[in-house]
Amino acid sequence: MRAAAGGFKDMTKKDRSESRIICQNKKARHDYELGERFEAGLVLTGTEVKSLRLGKANLTDAYARFQGGEAYLVGLHISPYPMACFDNHDPLRRRKLLLRRQELKRLYGRLQEQGQSLIPLRLYFKGSRAKAELALARGKKNPDKRQSLKEADARREMARAIREAVRR
């Protein structure tokens, strides 16, 4: 954004590069080994967008699947908009993902590999557009999950020890 006279930003227009997180799938980082990440747009109805602006979404059981050469987000729960009277959306309907053709082909090929899934990590607004961050993921086994927890505990302990050493 160009600076106005005096070096200050012009605050009359919103910054388009700014993003606001709607919801995150924290459990995905625990349950999956995350690989390559993608950004995709979503095809939504008006009441879905209004509900997202209120932060009423849940990514916990969501995943992406291909059907007819197009990618869809399945299991994303967007709560009905409370101010809509009769023309509200279905909370669990599948929503089309907007990706470039080359990305779709590459994703389709990678998903054919054994054990690969396409998992949404977060929903956010980029400017006025709703976007989803997706990652190619492979499911973790229980010993892998325990190992990840041990590593996180060790990192926390080291950080705590460093903080205490600095305070002294």
* Res. 13: pLDDT tops 70: no
Q: Which residues on neighbouring strands pair with residue 80, listed in sequence order?
A: none
For the chain, the domains span 19-140
Residue 8 corresponds to which tokens in the numbers above? Answer: 């200050």
Residue 80 half-sphere exposure toward CB, CA atoms < 13 A: 9
Q: Poorest-confidence range of 36-45, 95-104, 138-147?
A: 138-147
Q: Confidence class of residue 20 from pLDDT cuts 50, 70 and 90?
A: confident
19-140 — its CATH code? Answer: 2.40.280.10
Residue 115 corresponds to which tokens in the numbers above? Answer: 């054990």
Q: Confidence class of residue 8 from pLDDT cuts 50, 70 and 90?
A: low
* Res. 23: pLDDT tops 60: yes
Q: Confidence class of residue 113 from pLDDT cuts 50, 70 and 90?
A: confident
How far is residue 159 CA from its own chain's centroid?
Answer: 28
pTM beyond 0.75 = no
Q: Judging by beta carbons within 10 Å of its beta carbon (0-12, 13-18, 19+), is residue 77 exposed, middle or buried?
A: middle
Q: H or E stretch including 77? A: strand 77-78
